[in-house]
Structure formats: C-alpha cells, structure tokens
Amino acid sequence: MELIKVGEKTYYISNAVNIGIYKVNEKEVYVIDTGNDKDSGKKILKIIQQQGWIIKGIISTHSHADHIGGNKILQEKTNCIILSNKIDKVFIENTILEPSFLYGGYPFKCLKNKFLVAQESVTSDIKDNLPDGLSYFLLKGHCYDMIGIKTSDNVYFLADSLFGENTISKYHIFYIYNVQEYLNTLEFLKTLNGNLFVPSHCEATTNILPLIELNKKKIQEISNNIYEICKNNVTFEEILKSIFDKYHLEMNEIQYLLIGSTIKSYISFLYDQNLICFEFKNNKMLWKQVD
C-alpha cells in the first residue's frame, strides 16, 4: 500500500481496491472504502497514524465485501462514523444478505466467506452527514445505490463504475446488478470535469473517456452474445455454460454466483428491451429471441 497525494487535501492509497483519504482539517481524515478484510483495515490505520492523522469517518461507496472489509476493525479502533447510502447501508449492517441475494436463497456454507460476507459495521445515512469539502453522487448499475465522491480538489472517486483493460481482457465479465443503469452511469461519467479520476480497481487517470468506451463496448459484446445464444430455446444454465465456454472461464462456486447473477441481469436487460422472451416447456424456463 502506497499513500499518494493528489490534491491539497486529497490522497489515495494505491491498492487492489484504491482507498481514498480526505483531510477535513490538520488532524482528522475521512476514508473512502476500506478494502477486503481486517488486514486491509490494519494497514490503512497504520498509514494514517504514521501521518499523525485521526480517522473521523469512513465513506462506503457500496456494500460489496472488498470495499467494506476493513470497516469493523477501523470503527472499533477509532470509534469513527461510517456513512453509506440507502439499500447498501442495510447490506453493510447485515452482510449475510449479500450471498443470500446472489444465490437467491439461504447460502450454503462455502459461500459464507470473506469474499462475500464482510464483518458487519454500524452505519449512518450519508445524506446531510458529509463534512465540508466532500459531495456524493449516484453511480447506479454495479450495485444497488452505489455512490462516488468528489473532493474540494476536484478529484473524483468512482468506486466500481469503471473497470480497467487488464480486468476486462482477463475476465471479460464484471459484476453488474442493473445493465441499463450501468450504461446510464457511463453516460453520466462523460459529463464529469475533474482534475483526477480514481476508479477502485484500476489506475487513477486524468481522462476516463477511453475507459468509458472500453466498458461500454464490453457490455454491448456480452449483450450480443447472450442474444445470439437465445437463437434456440435455452435455459439459464445453458446460457451460463455457453458464456463460460466462449470466454474460457473456469466455473467455481464464487464465479457461479457472481457471473451467474450478472448473466441474469443481462437477460433481464434484453427482456426489458423486448429482444428476448421466455416460455415454460416440460417444466423448464426457456429463453429465446423475440420473433
């Protein structure tokens, strides 16, 4: 982890999940996301203490475990507040909801791991509780009510609204809850005029337009692929297998959950556009192109 200064009051810690830091005064800081587990939280605390700072608050951009894993230990160590938005607040306070939602039922035991279930923490509504110098904006699509943060230095923390070329070329499919909202968010990002943009899972950049186009192109590609798979009457499991095979992905329980849920979101997207429809035959739900 490396602390990088990018403005008068704005820093970030370069990490697998980039961590934002904002100084509200000479001593107190707010942390934007906390990484994937308590070890991440410990490392963040050490870096902040080395600067002589105190954590006043944490802003959780959304409820996924790799963004809130350090919340609990930092709250215990510093008694800081944690701010989050709407539905994500409920999931942060009740983290068993994440695998339950993804699985669509009670999650079997190997789904209840730190990659899906972070330790729970006490959170407050972000509305009207941000300090001066920080503002938030909605980044829907990847998660329920995900937010980004703008600092007084005109630095934008963009959470998981954009994924980098390395991630996309390696995995092809990144988690999306609502495809249409994700596309809407990409269009919104084009309107931002910032000094620096810090996505969570790729390098900070002064120009996000290439990333926006890269993400949009991949979403269109996945949509087209699923549409073509539905040329014949196919079940969800057959669609999922076809996508895994096409991109040479290897199935395991975590990938089944994350990619499976994402493929369902693409199916909903195509259905809502009246491009595919379903029928029940021999007690199977079959997806097919609209005639």
Is the pLDDT confidence value at 4 over 90? yes
Q: Specify the pLDDT at position 160.
A: 97
List, edge to edge, every strand of the sheet that includes 196-199.
134-138, 147-151, 155-159, 196-199
* Euclidean distance between CA atoms 276 and 230, whole angstroms: 7
Would you tell me how many other CB atoms lie within 10 Å of the CB of residue 13?
22
Environment class of residue 269 by beta-carbon count within 10 Å: exposed (0-12), middle (13-18) or buried (19+)?
Answer: buried
> Domain 2-160 maps to which CATH number in 3.40.50.300, 1.10.1060.10, 3.30.70.141, 3.60.15.10?
3.60.15.10
Q: By the 8 A CB rule, do 276 and 231 touch? A: no
pLDDT band at 99 (very low <50, low <70, confident <90, very high): very high
Is the pLDDT confidence value at 7 over 90? yes
Give domain limits for the chain: 2-160, 230-289
184-232 pLDDT, tens digit each: 999 999 999 999 999 999 999 999 999 999 999 999 999 999 999 999 9
Q: Which residues have a Cβ under 8 Å from the Cβ of 251 and sit 6 or more positions away?
A: 244
DSSP 274: T
pTM of the model: 0.95
How many degrees, rounded to 5, is the angle at CA 60 between CA 55 and CA 66?
Answer: 105
Q: Strand runs (DSSP E) across the chain, as ranges?
A: 2-5, 10-14, 19-23, 28-32, 54-59, 81-84, 124-125, 134-138, 147-151, 155-159, 196-199, 276-281, 284-289
Percent of the chain with pLDDT over 90: 96
Strand, helix or coil for residue 270:
helix
**Alpha-carbon dihedral angle through residues 123, 19, 41, 28, given to the nearest 10 degrees:** -70
pLDDT band at 1 (very low <50, low <70, confident <90, very high): confident
> Domain 230-289 maps to which CATH number in 1.10.1740, 1.10.10, 1.10.238, 2.40.30?
1.10.10
Mean pLDDT of 251-268: 96
pLDDT band at 98 (very low <50, low <70, confident <90, very high): very high
Would you tell me how many other CB atoms lie within 10 Å of the CB of residue 235?
13
Structure tokens given for 102: 């993804």
Strand, helix or coil for residue 225:
helix
Cα 158 to chain centroid, rounded:
9
Q: By the 8 A CB rule, do 17 and 35 touch? A: yes
Q: Specify the pLDDT at position 291.
A: 87
Is the pLDDT confidence value at 63 over 90? yes
* Euclidean distance between CA atoms 80 and 221, whole angstroms: 43
24-36 pLDDT, tens digit each: 999 999 999 999 9
Percent of the chain with pLDDT over 70: 100
Q: Specify the pLDDT at position 18.
A: 97
